[in-house]
Amino acid sequence: MDVTWLGHAYFRLKGREATLITDPYPRSLGLNPGRQSANIVTVSHASPNHSAVEPIAGGPRVLNGPGEYEVGGVMIRGVATPGERTATGPAARNTAYAIEIDELLVCHLGDLGKALNPEQIEALKDPDVLLIPVGGECTISPAEAAEVVSQLEPKLVIPMHYALPGLPLKLEPVERFCREMGIEDVRSQPRVSVTRGSLPDETTVLMLETAAAKTR
């Protein structure tokens, strides 16, 4: 499975039989993800910066809430969690997704607003790859993100939803999360190909470069 980060909470997971996109944003956010095509799109909540599904080609199946789904051989479980801590109403609700693709379990936490409760931990625990917001403000803080990592015990941790050049959002830089995780040397790579055999034995943080271009 190839994992590409397109900035913010937007990822492309490309498996052998299906391509899945998470939380697509509009170009008005300040980034251009390019033309994307997918079989499946997951939406964590209704914010425009996480639900811009219209530009996605391929006639994808759009999942936007809790439940259990099977699409093209990909098994997906949506789990209700607290959303943006600064929001009220529908925006305060968030769906985290546990995605089984190419014999790997990927967890995308969307705009998680606080640490998980025991029921949520049980539903999302032990992912092979954890895609986690670390920028604070409207989502969990860097310290809370480190706590969630310890709750879920993933093999591979890929941070998302943090400050980027050209992104007009008040978010913390990723280095603060790295310090909470005890990482001093922050390096990144364009994308990662993950197999069961390539997974680390212990929880490892992997930084991805955003594949999106700036529009501002």
Walk across the sheet containing 61-63 and list its strands.
61-63, 40-42, 19-22, 11-14, 2-5, 191-193
Rounded Cα distance between 128 and 88, Å, is 32
pTM of the full predicted structure? 0.93
- 59 found inside a domain: no
- 17 found inside a domain: no
Residue 68 has pLDDT above 70, yes or no: yes
Taking phi over 0 as left and psi of -120 to 50 as alpha, with beta for the rest, 58 belongs to left
Range of the domain at 147: 65-214
- 36 found inside a domain: no
Mean pLDDT of all residues belonging to the chain: 91
Distances (CA, A) of 123 to 1, 98, 107, 215: 22, 8, 10, 38
**What is the band of 214 on the pLDDT scale with cuts at 50, 70, 90?**
low
- 34 found inside a domain: no
- 126 found inside a domain: yes
For 75-114, how does the pLDDT look when each residue is reduced to its tens digit (9 = 90+)?
999 999 976 655 554 446 899 999 999 999 999 999 998 8
CATH number at residue 165: 3.60.15.10
- 22 found inside a domain: no
- 170 found inside a domain: yes
- 33 found inside a domain: no
* pLDDT for the residue numbered 184: 80
Asked if 134 and 162 count as a contact pair (C-beta separation under 8 A), the reply is: yes
Tally of domains in the chain: 1
